[in-house]
Amino acid sequence: MGHRSSNAWMLAFLVAAGVSHAAEPPKASAPPPKLPPGVSPVLWKVSVPPGAEPTPDKVLLGEKLFNDQRLSVDNTVSCSTCHEPKKGFVDGKDRSVGIKDQKGMRNSPTVLNAMFNASQFWDGRAATLEDQAKLPILNPIEMGMPSPEAVVTKVRAIPEYAAEFQKVFGREVNYDDLAAAIAAFERTQFSGSARFDAFIHGDEKAFNASEKRGWALFNGKGRCTECHAANIVSPLFSDQKFHNIGIAAHKQDFVQLALEGLKVVRTGDEKQIDELALQTKFSELGRFLVTKQENDVGAFKTPTLRNIGITGPYMHDGSLNSLWDVMDHYNKGGVQNPYLDGGMQRLGLTEPEIDDLVAFLYTLTDTRFDKFNQQELARQRGLKNKRPERDTAVAMGKKGNLGDIAPNPDLDKKNPAEMGVYGAETSVKSEPKKEGKP
């Protein structure tokens, strides 16, 4: 994969959508394109606002802007710097790096399937892809442009963009249109063709024995579905809610930090809040920066598990290097703090069970990243002897008192997929034709 492959994927989408470069922008009632099995037409329709459909010209302009470093103040950083297509639209770093090698406070989430998110960013401070596209350009850590007016002035001075904005939007460059073009490109970056999708549609051979056990654990003892449930119309494996799972509690006195942060957040300055999220210790307050509600202190959005194998390192601060580390974190019930989500409890997973769960998670990667997925699995497996989050004694109830261990799964029962945990079985499998019926 690379930029060329990104183009190929986008062009495949455009061809599948039955449109051409010469076509007029589709109307609000335009049908969805041909979608992979893991993306339902219903989800597509409800996720694309009327008037925001990704027309071919708008998408091409948006991809060009997405990859253009000239949108940054010193011409060194583009959107793709932190969201590299060949890496599943992440950068593989713990925290993103912007202009002048400045390091932010948050890990770069993937753009893949971002169009289906109920909100954008780890703390949900942007409601739409268009809103999301604007903020990194202005953030002094990321792209560093001083104002929307400065962005527009700079882009208008680039002859090719002056012409292309006239062609696509019929007017001069403005900041809303620039964001709309980037968002249009991002709406073509969906993913739903993983081995999991083949399995859920009836291909038993798509999973090996370990992956099947992992799927059962995912729905049982692992309690993963508490926040990462999915079904055929909501296939992201995310509840799209915000939870304090204890990651941020490694570093901060939450009570004191919340008192300090509240004074700043009350200003209501959206740009300033964005800067706080990336630049200061207050970043660890998470959703609290947006809602100003104390029960959101340290809460971050449940990320999608689609392509999780290739989009590490993990958590809002990229502090967990492998999916084994992630499982270790959950296995001991997270890190205790006054705002810990009530659903967090030790799991009591054995080492073979953790291996099975990780094996299942790697089945959620889109097949176009198969080679990269295998490379990441091998790399992360090589980190198994370096497990800073591992506390087997706590996880297995041999010390501490962190609540009840979740019940053991009954692996003698039918496969969870056959039990309808991913929507009704009949809704994901074709019903046999009746005799005499077409």
Residues designated catalytic: 142
- Give me the half-sphere count of Cα atoms (radius 13 Å) on the Cβ side of residue 433: 4
Non-local CB neighbours of 431 within 8 Å, separated by 6+ positions:
none
SS3 (DSSP) at 97: strand
Under DSSP, the state recorded for 431 is P
Q: How far apart are CA 134 and CA 146, in angstroms?
A: 12
CA distance 162 to 425: 52
178 vs 62, 118, 149, 161, 275, CA distance in Å? 8, 22, 12, 10, 21
Closest of 72, 109, 119, 74 to residue 89, by C-alpha: 109
Let me know: does 189 contact 111? Beta carbons within 8 Å. yes
Q: Tokens for 74?
A: 């010193």
**Cβ atoms 40, 112 nearer than 8 A:** no
Whether residue 114 contacts residue 189, with contact meaning beta carbons closer than 8 Å, is answered with yes
Q: Are 236 and 304 in contact (CB under 8 A)?
A: yes
Cis, bond preceding 313 (omega within 30 deg of 0): yes
Q: Which residues, other chains included, contact 296 with Cβ-Cβ below 8 Å and sequence gap of 6+?
A: 242, 244, 286, 287, 288, 290
Euclidean distance between CA atoms 197 and 121, whole angstroms: 26
